[in-house]
A and B are shown apart, each in its own frame.
Chain A
Amino acid sequence: MAATFFGEVVKAPCRAGTEEEEEDEEERRETSEDREARRQLARKREVRLFRRQTKTSLEVALLEKYPCSKFIIAIGNNAVAFLSSFVMNSGVWEEVGCAKLWNEWCRTTDTTHLSPAEAFCVFYHLKSNPSVFGSCPRKNMQVTILTCRHVTDYKTSESTSSLHSPFLKALKTQNFKEPPCCSLLEQPNIAHDLPAAVLSYCQVWGIPAVLYLCYTDVMKLDLVTVEAFKPILSSRSWKGLVKNIPQSTEILKRLMTTNEIQSNIYT
């Protein structure tokens, strides 16, 4: 319990997450019909892979159809902009599928017709270099994850206002032997959500993987933040993937301009 500024007593949130007592009460009050309804809804959860060009579903797992040795995943607008401008501008990248998911928290109730037009996760492979999404077995696969977090999430003994953001930090799995392109993320800092889920999977199953976290104070698409990922371009495993950096900067600037027009609140 806690008293607010106005003197009313409110229930303070518990650091243990949800109040288990309340969840237990909720579950006790739940009838078996409610539980069955919830289970049925959960069964409808799905992650589906499509080919946007043909509007058909992919019948097998993506990595079975396109086994690869390098798997790069960018999460968030700045990470995606970096990958699009600096890596996918060179060579010919072919879209091999896109993922669409549905769970009970999505706004649409339509689970049978997931529109490919609403896809927000797209997979590409490099046609000229089969080792990137190529023919090597999964055991030799190396995973790179790129994402951003707000600088206020970064814990340091100095004040976060004195940090020079954006800056890059890395977390790697045990089997990732290459030296990372920046310093490692020091305790007590942690990563969570999707990047953590991917890295945990790789750690548990022995896949070499590295997560590059860019701490920034600008969460919308931003040139300076995207450029903070540049040290990764010099990593050994990305040799050959990156060709024309001046062209990349041009592509990035064009991406920014398009986005700025779209974000005008008066249009």
Chain B
Amino acid sequence: MTDNVPAVSVGNVGQLAVDLIISTLNMCKIGYFYTDCLVPMVGNNPYATAEENSAELSTNAEVYSLPSKKLVALQLRSIFIKYKSKPFCEKLLSWVKSSNCAKVVVLSSSHSYHRNDLQLRSTPFRYLLTPSLQKNVESKIKSLNWEEMEKSPCIPEISDSEFCVRVPGGGITKTLYDEGCSKEIPLAVLLKFVSEGDNIPDALGLVEHLNEWLQIIKPRCDDPTASALPWKIPSSWRLLFGSGLPPALF
């Protein structure tokens, strides 16, 4: 079973990507992640397609599943309370370990302005694999010609600093990756370099990239000129940039 988890990161791209997956695959809500680590928030069903299913209450951390594809998704809808992100990662990974997932995929993003010259010239997508997942999927990942996230100086201000994996703007991504390595959890990170703004195209890019590997949706036909895969935009993505404008403004 694969578990998809977003990191609350720059542009909220991971969360938008998980929304697309849940909405497109019409995944069923199977539970809540009830935690005091996230700011409380509630709203009606963000994936409502009709009047009948619009009145289901949603909370800030919910788990969805699609048994036919052995897929589980955790959606996080609010930010972490100060100093609670690390305890959250520990609780999350301990739940993942006890649920016997074959692998966990963390969808995330990183500040595009932190890229070095080489990164500026290459694909905006990067991946990371923990050692316990590497042996199983490395050959598949290599066949896709994906780029691994490069190491950068741990302390940029110091010229002879050691190199390590850094994910600026990635929220809990680095913590999840580090904990995944030390606790031997088969975890992958898939991220895109983005800037804040209208991040819907970034989310679409990220899920299509993920789809190359996991084949969550099969393309409609083999026609290479066909438009992008049929990802369903959730109804809650309306008014992302606020209410309508007062006519008097013009």
Contact = CB atoms under 8 A, between A and B. Distances in A.
Contacts of A188: 43, 46, 236-240
A70 B1 CA distance: 43
A59 interface: no
B42 A200 contact: yes
B80 interface: yes
Interface string B47-63: 01000001111011000
Interface stretch (A15-23, A61-69, A227-235, A258-266): A15-23
A125 interface: no
A104 B109 CA distance: 33
Interface in B180-219: 196
Interface in B80-111: 80, 82-83, 85-86
B123 interface: no
Contact of B242 (A155, A186, A187): A155
A19 B244 contact: no
B229 interface: no
Contacts of B57: 171-174, 199, 203
B196 to A, nearest CB: 6
Nearest to A163: B243
Contact of A159 (B59, B240, B247): B247
A20 B43 contact: no
Nearest to A160: B243
B83 A172 contact: no
B60 A16 contact: no
A255 to B, nearest CB: 30
A187 B196 contact: no
Nearest to B247: A159
Contact of B59 (A20, A21, A194, A203): A203
B34 A157 contact: no
B239 A157 contact: yes
Contacts of B60: 196, 200
Interface string B168-183: 1111101000000000
Contacts of B248: 161
Nearest to B34: A204
Given A1-B113, A38-B83, A185-B43, A15 B11 contact: yes
Nearest to B9: A16
Contacts, number: 132
Given A12-B196, A159-B246, A200 B40 contact: yes
B246 A200 contact: no
A185 B56 CA distance: 11
B159 to A, nearest CB: 18
A156 B239 contact: yes
Contacts of A18: 79-80, 82
Nearest to A187: B236
Contacts of A203: 32, 42, 57, 59
A197 interface: yes
B137 interface: no
B126 to A, nearest CB: 17
Tell me what chain B mostly uses at the interface: helix, strand, loop, or mixed.
loop
B39 A192 contact: yes
A23 B85 contact: yes
Nearest to B8: A16
A20 B40 contact: no
Contacts of A159: 243-247
Contacts of B174: 20, 24
A17 B56 contact: no
A171 B169 contact: no
Contacts of A24: 174
A48 to B, nearest CB: 19
A131 to B, nearest CB: 25
Interface string A197-219: 10110011000000100000000
A204 B79 contact: no
B136 interface: no
Nearest to A186: B44
A68 B170 CA distance: 45
Contacts of A187: 43-46, 48, 54, 235-236, 238
A214 to B, nearest CB: 16
Contact of B40 (A14, A173, A193): A193
Given A187-B54, A203-B42, 11 more contacts: A20-B174, A24-B174, A159-B243, A159-B245, A159-B246, A172-B57, A174-B57, A184-B44, A191-B43, A192-B40, A199-B57
7 contacts: A16-B79, A20-B172, A155-B238, A185-B43, A188-B236, A200-B59, A203-B32
- 10 smallest beta-carbon distances between A and B, as pairs: A17-B79, A190-B43, A197-B40, A159-B246, A196-B40, A187-B236, A155-B239, A192-B41, A200-B59, A196-B42
